[in-house]
Amino acid sequence: MQKVVISEKGQICLPAAIRKKLGLQKGDRLAIEEADGAIVLHPLPRHPLLALRGKLKTPDGAKLTELLLQERLADREREQP
């Protein structure tokens, strides 16, 4: 059995071995419940779209949001009389 300490803010740190075994990463969410005097944590499923954040890049490495903003600016300039 591994032990953790509760900080002043009520935070705990999950041991690395448990995080690794369960595949938990920074930003993952856990559900917490009390059951018969025990604290139980359950990993919540990741949203599939959030897993893609930052994965799509252009061949030259430019960010897609920057390209979109440039396109919008060009559209605005073309539409002005």
pLDDT at 54 over 80: no
The number of distinct structural domains making up the chain is 1
Average pLDDT value for the chain = 88
Q: What is the dihedral of CA 70, 50, 23, 8, to 10 degrees?
A: 90
- Residue 69: which domain range? 48-79
Classify residue 18: in a domain, yes or no: no
pLDDT, position 1:
85
Q: What is the pTM of this model?
A: 0.53
Taken in order 3, 6, 7, 12, the sign of the CA dihedral is positive
pLDDT at 24 over 80: yes
Q: How confident is the model at residue 80 (pLDDT cuts 50, 70, 90)?
A: confident
> Mean pLDDT over residues 50-65, rounded?
73
Classify residue 62: in a domain, yes or no: yes
> Mean pLDDT over residues 41-53, rounded?
81
